Amino acid sequence: MSDEARPEKRFHGVGVSPGIARGSLVVYRTEEEAPQARHIEESEIPSEIGRFETALIATRSQILEMQQKIAEAIGAKDAGIFDAHLLVVEDRTLIDEVLRTLSRDKHNVEYVFQQVANRYSKTLSEIDDPYLRERALDIHDVARRVVHNLMGKSIKTLAGIHHKHILVSHNLTPSDTAQLNRSLVLGFATDVGSKTSHTAIMARSLNIPAVVGLHDASEALVTGDQVLLDGYNGFLIVNPSDQTLWEYGELEVKMGAVEEKLTQLRETASTTLDGRHITLSANIELPEDVEAVKKSGAEGIGLYRTEFCYLNRTEFPGEEEQFDNYHRVAKAILPESVIIRTLDLGGDKFTGVMEAEIESNPFLGWRAIRFCLEKVDVFKIQLRAILRASALGNVRLMYPMISGVEEMRRANAILEECRQELRAEGVFFDEKMEVGAMIEVPSAAISADLIAREAAFFSLGTNDLIQYTIAIDRVNERIAHLYEPTHPAIIRLIKTTVDAGHAHGRWVGLCGEIAGEVILTPLLIGLGVDELSTGAALVPRVKRAVQSLDMNVCRRLVEEVLQCDSSDVILAKCEEVAKSHYPDLLG
């Protein structure tokens, strides 16, 4: 049957990286050859252990090489996904279990390792905790590499594909995505995954369309199929009809025209039609991100995630290195300001230097300000570096995951110790540097009036605030649909925080993902938020939304929303306002 006669077929998943791609399909499957059991003699055990150690060393070297390639190509923040792989190679519990089983069962080491790794992976995959389930994937990926090294075989990779294509697979591990030829991959899709999966992270970093959660698409498709990938709405369309191609062609033209208009807003102010100015800032992770902020037309940096300077390291960065980073960023963004968030390790961001045991619930564990208040020596090095950079006069500081006024006071006390040290050393810094708190824990929002006495400003970290308030792990694809930014409780917590801040003369910003959701811009403005900080690429869209609204409309929306008891109803009301003022931004 010719392509023209074949019917169009659609698979629907979740769009995780926007854009539209058309082209030939490559279905990537990894057919693994399981090692066969072979009995060995007692005398052979030392040589098997030697083979095992050599394979572990080779695997570690391969992972480090991939990590370096990713860091050079798209930044250290994305290379950090290999940290967990390195931990697997160095996991003494797993290694010791392999050695015990080898000595007891007397089978060849590749067979023993595969069996032990499978048990570990299976156990973790069945635990009702998304963080530990993700570790099961890490173990599987690393085990595959170790076994191939033991068997003297090369791993099947994607590097051998030499034509432009759209990639589909059941799943793509970090090792897989590290092998992608970025100039040839038009887009990719997977059967599994969520918006925060490795696949999604890589797609957004590579700036190519991607869809996850397609269930069994990889089994139903064949290499060579002509497909259209819709990263906006989450569709993979096989053998698209002429009508579908025409509709998507129109959409591409439309979105292209919108993007062209948005580029013209760079030098304009983010002010509503009736004159209310909303400070529009951008979030960064590394000093190299500043250039994108300047090109976006943002008014400075609303969130500098400093923990990304700590990842992929065997030791914490020293004061001079940190000072250099902070000073470079502050100087580059002048005359605008930068808000530097202190170290937020833990949760889903770990470094080998932490020497911390894996926690059953890391997002509620030893992370962020809790880590810093225990590791005062590490904390003070960072605070001194920030203070020194503040001499430029455009630096603000804020603490993450503050849960109450006591933590704020303890952190400020340590900061004051650093001030006193620098004064004694004759080192100049900004004595009036503003120090604020991130409000991302429900207890902080509820007690915002108390924290406001100790903080110069608030920044709402809505990613965690939503997660903690509704008790929804946004990484868990089984319940990700329950992650609702318009939940009535979230609206009330934002309002409580803004009202408390303003009552004490404090300005209130918002740096979570919803700052970039233009459907929610009228709601956030109506709630009284003074600043919105989002990814640099989204700044022009948010600016256009702000410029299209007036405060009366936004306040009326909030009055209506506060009477609603349903997330869906609230979202619908927000969408109605957005569509009536800037329909072209909604696609």
Of 89, 250, 301, 104, nearest to 175 (Cα)?
89
Sequence-distant (6+) residues with CB within 8 A of 241 are 8
Tokens of 128: 């009702």
Q: What is the DSSP letter of 277?
A: B
Mapped onto helix, strand or coil, the DSSP state of residue 198 is helix
- Kindly provide the b/e burial profile for residues 486-523, where b requires at least 16 CB atoms within 10 angstroms of the residue's own CB: bbbebbbbbbbbbebbeebebbbbbbbbbbbbbbbbbb
The answer to whether 130 touches 361, Cβ cutoff 8 Å, is no
Q: How far apart are CA 470 and CA 482, in angstroms?
A: 8
Q: How far apart are CA 396 and CA 336, in angstroms?
A: 11
- Kindly provide the b/e burial profile for residues 36-71, where b requires at least 16 CB atoms within 10 angstroms of the residue's own CB: eeeebeeeeeeebeeebeebbebbbebbbebbeebb
Of 493, 537, 530, nearest to 513 (Cα)?
537
Which active-site residues does the annotation give? 198, 511
Residue 583, φ and ψ in degrees, nearest 5: -60, -30
Amino acid sitting at position 65:
E
The answer to whether 221 touches 209, Cβ cutoff 8 Å, is no
Torsion of CA 306, 309, 312, 317, to 10 degrees: -120
Q: How far apart are CA 134 and CA 474, in angstroms?
A: 13
Please state the separation of Cα 279 from the chain's center in Å.
Answer: 23
Look at phi and psi of residue 4 and say left if phi exceeds 0, alpha if psi is from -120 to 50, else beta: alpha
Cis peptide before 335 (omega within 30 of 0): yes
Give alpha helix (H) positions in 75-91: 76-79, 83-89
